[in-house]
Amino acid sequence: MKVGIVGVGAVGSSIAAALVHRGTARHIVLVDTDHARARGTARDLGHAAALHTPTRLQPGDPDDLAGAHVVIVTAGTNERAGGATDRTDPAGRLRLLDRNADVYRDAIPRIATAAPTATVVVVTDPPDPLADLARHLLGHDRVLSTGTLIDTLRFRAHLATALDVAAADVHAQVIGEHGTTQVPLWSTAAIGGVPLPAAAHRAGHDPDDLRTRVDAAVRHANIDIIDDIGASRFGIAAAVADLTRTIGRDEHRITCVASHQPDYGTTLSLPSVVGARGVLRTLHPPLDAAEQAALDRSAAALRDATAPLLT
């Protein structure tokens, strides 16, 4: 499988490394306006080739994306550089939208010309409105954003740590916006099939206190990581590598990623069946009244943010 990565900063280079270590792609093209960065990243990762499944790493231009099965877009300004690290700011990642939309208006038409049949994965923040813009510019629906995939993994990880169980045995999802209006689905969260309140009680936790602590940890996880190391890169890189494998192998796995939802008039995350053409269909989990209201608010915030991009 040939994979293109457009934007080879902290996140893009980490995704490339994750793809190499997992042996997901046979050919990876690294595209960046800083050609030296793309070239150096390809050289550095290429030195590990003898330890992994053979992978060709190529620094290149958008034209070199021709024939790519998947194109991953990480280009743009990150949260620290874009002033989007205030935990009290209701806009959150949406602060980055205007400047990163300009990046997409330049990059996406080039991707469309070079790789018209590729499935495009939007990672740049804020990914959901940018996926809607990319869909508009590409003229097809093989576009998804990573959406709340990383938020869902963080939700499971924090619950697993609190309850001292393996994260793989935590069943919990975050839907809606990858941002301040995200919606953790507490009503259906379970540990090994046991509803979360019962599992929390048995582990000696007050469910309401656990919910308060975990919700804050998940909602602000990205900023906490940025405060410590400057960029959130390793978790999202592993998630994108896994998603790329799902697309490349047409696995029809269910994961929380974002695609355009006509019922909501915007791109947002729901549990989605993912295959070679991106999101094949979405599932609508049961929501309690508060969760449905929160999802409606999340959709409204995304519609308001996206509308100016498409006029």
Please state the three-class secondary structure of the chain as a single string.
CEEEEECCCHHHHHHHHHHHHHCCCCEEEEECCCHHHHHHHHHHHHCCHHHCCCCEEEEECHHHHCCCCEEEECCCCCCCCCCCCCCCCCCHHHHHHHHHHHHHHHHHHHHHHHCCCCEEEECCCCHHHHHHHHHHHHCCCCEEECCCHHHHHHHHHHHHHHHCCCHHHEECCEEECCCCCCEECCCCCEECCEEHHHHHHHCCCCHHHHHHHHHHHHHCHHHHHHHHHCCCCHHHHHHHHHHHHHHHCCCCEEEEEEEEECCCCEEEEEEEEEECCEEEEECCCCCCHHHHHHHHHHHHHHHHHHHHHHC
What pLDDT does 238 receive?
A: 97
Tens digit of pLDDT per residue, the chain (311 long)?
A: 999 999 999 999 999 999 999 999 999 999 999 999 999 999 999 998 788 889 999 999 999 999 999 999 999 988 777 676 778 888 888 999 999 999 999 999 999 999 999 999 999 999 999 999 999 999 999 999 999 999 999 999 999 999 999 999 999 999 999 999 999 999 999 999 999 999 999 999 999 999 999 999 999 999 999 999 988 999 999 999 999 999 999 999 999 999 999 999 999 999 999 999 999 999 999 999 999 999 999 999 999 999 999 87
Task: State the Cα–Cα distance between residues 150 and 252, nearest whole angstrom.
Answer: 19
Contact 189, 171 (CB under 8 A): yes
What is the pLDDT, as a whole number, of residue 87? 81
CB–CB of 179/93 below 8 Å? Answer: yes
CA dist 123 and 276 (Å) reads: 18
Specify the pLDDT at position 24: 93
Contact 88, 219 (CB under 8 A): no
Return d(Cα 278, Cα 246) in angstroms, integer.
9
Please report the pLDDT score of residue 78 as a whole number: 83
Q: In the annotation, is 69 catalytic? A: no
C-alpha 278/C-alpha 4 separation (Å) is: 15
Q: How far apart are CA 161 and CA 15, in angstroms?
A: 25
The pLDDT value given to residue 48? 85
pLDDT in the model for residue 90: 83
Q: What is the pLDDT of residue 123?
A: 98
Write down all domains in the chain, each with its CATH number in brackets: 2-145 (3.40.50.720)
Given the residues 69, 178, 205, 260, select the one marked as catalytic: 178
Q: Taking the complete model, does pTM exceed 0.85, yes or no? A: yes
Token pair of 307 as six digits: 């509308």
